Amino acid sequence: MTAALPRYQDWIMSHDIRLRTTFDSAAGSYQNARPDYPAELYSDLLAITAITPPAHLLEVGCGPGKATLPLARMGFEITAVELGDALAAEARHRLAEFADVSVVTSSFEGWEPPAGIRFDLAYAATAWKWVDPEVKYAKAAKLLSKGGHLAVWNADHAMPAGFDPFFTEIQKVYEEIGEGHDGPWPPPPPEALPNPIATELDASGHFTVVGTRLYVWALRYTADEYIALLDTFSGHIAMEPAKREHLYQEIRRRLAARPDGQFTRHWSVVLTIGRRL
């Protein structure tokens, strides 16, 4: 039996809708603080969808252009929709050299392209969860050409076997300030996690899943680099200042005790691609 899509009311309760506007305050630091997506992701995206430049792509929630730039450099025509004024301005600045790339300041739910425009691929990079589930799949399908594709991926914190013990230490601080992890600790390794996007695509009635890929990699961070990263996460941006200050002090204290002052954070991305029915 196919799972039902989440209702709008359930989505509002599980995702404080105000949080989706917090990223605009990090517009100036987001591009450098967040990791680049793996080059293999773009190779797999093109191989699975069989799109080639100058196909017309639609990006939902482009931020400052983290996932836009690699595809723009390949020669694709891109229309990028971004909710935040500052993020959209940052994206326009970074993408100014690409004449075939335009950035529209709007929510995806409220945006409509010029009459007759259809896209070969719609994609969202670490943004899809912030779009109304009662709208996003039907609207994406409506905007795609026949046989077009929707690609979704998120950059998440991964906890593979042997992850850095720093995260168990700092998790205790999150719990002390009332910002603990939901569910058992540690979370399952990335290869054991479910793929809710694949379930939603199949349940939407508009798409069939044609490919999924998992990418896991590790990066080293100093305290300053990691705090800059945390300052781009909605939960940390919206955190009470006193809690955030205490957390950051504890991060600095714990890393100062390490010989090189650094730790390893693993990242994972699941690329899920659906073809329009």
Task: Decide the pairing of beta strands 101-105 and 77-82.
Answer: parallel
Q: In whole angstroms, what is the distance from residue 264 CA to residue 219 CA? A: 6
- The answer to whether residue 173 sits within a structural domain is no
Q: Does 176 reside within a domain?
A: no
Instruction: Show pLDDT as tens, one digit a residue, over the chain (277 residues).
Output: 344 555 544 444 444 556 666 677 677 888 999 999 999 999 999 999 999 999 999 999 999 999 999 999 999 999 999 999 999 999 999 999 999 999 999 999 999 999 999 999 999 999 999 999 899 999 999 999 999 999 999 999 999 999 999 999 999 999 999 998 888 889 999 999 999 999 999 999 999 999 999 999 999 999 999 999 999 998 898 899 999 999 999 999 999 999 999 999 999 999 999 999 9
- How far apart (Å, rounded) are the C-alpha atoms in residues 84 and 74? 26
Is 168 inside any structural domain? no
Per-residue DSSP letter, 157: E
Nearest to 187 by CA among 166, 160, 213, 162: 160
Q: Which of 170, 161, 185 is nearest to 266 (CA)?
A: 161
pLDDT value of position 3: 47
Query: Residue 185: its pLDDT value, please?
Result: 86
Determine, yes or no, domain membership for 60. yes
* The pLDDT of residue 14: 47
pLDDT in the model for residue 8: 43
Is the pTM higher than 0.85?
yes
Q: What is the CATH number of the domain that holds 26?
A: 3.40.50.150
Indicate whether 57 belongs to any domain: yes
Would 35 be classed as within a structural domain?
yes
Please give the residue range of the domain that contains residue 148.
8-160+189-219+266-276
Q: Is 240 exposed, middle or buried (0-12, 13-18, 19+ CB in 10 A)?
A: exposed
Domain assignment present for residue 112? The answer is yes
- Confidence at residue 17, expressed as pLDDT on a 0 to 100 scale: 58
221 backbone dihedrals φ, ψ, rounded to 5°: -130, 140
> Residue 148: enclosing H or E segment and its boundaries?
strand 144-158
- How many residues in the chain? 277
Domain count, the chain: 1
Give CA–CA dist 273/198, Å, rounded: 8
